[in-house]
Amino acid sequence: MFGKRGLVAAVNIIDVVMGVVILVILIAAAAIPIVQNVLTDANITGIPATILSLVPVFLALLALIGVAKAF
């Protein structure tokens, strides 16, 4: 139906989509809440708190870059 190259391309696209979905779920549902909880419980103040508060933002950017590179 797809020919030799068409089937391989379809399988690769499905693999890429599945990988991106798993990446986004892991980052959005697991990594960001865990990092935020750890930062809250660590009770850090001052400049280190400001710098560490950017970690969830960078994780979200990582997810966006992963999606952008995949498509």
pTM: 0.77
Assign 53 to helix, strand or coil. Answer: coil
Quick check: is 4 in a domain? no
Q: What is the pLDDT of residues 14-30, one digit of tens each?
A: 888 999 999 999 999 99
Contact between residue 42 and residue 21 where contact means Cβ atoms under 8 Å apart: no
Quick check: is 13 in a domain? no
Angstrom CA distances, 26 to 7, 13, 14, 33, stand at: 29, 20, 18, 10
**Does 41 have pLDDT greater than 80?**
yes
Rounded to an integer, the average pLDDT of 32-48 is 94
Quick check: is 1 in a domain? no
DSSP state of 1: -
Contact between residue 65 and residue 41 where contact means Cβ atoms under 8 Å apart: no
Q: For residue 39, give its domain range.
A: 19-70
Quick check: is 8 in a domain? no
Q: How confident is the model at residue 47 (pLDDT cuts 50, 70, 90)?
A: very high
Contact between residue 67 and residue 28 where contact means Cβ atoms under 8 Å apart: no
Quick check: is 2 in a domain? no
The pLDDT score that the predictor gives to residue 14 is: 86
**Does 1 have pLDDT greater than 90?**
no
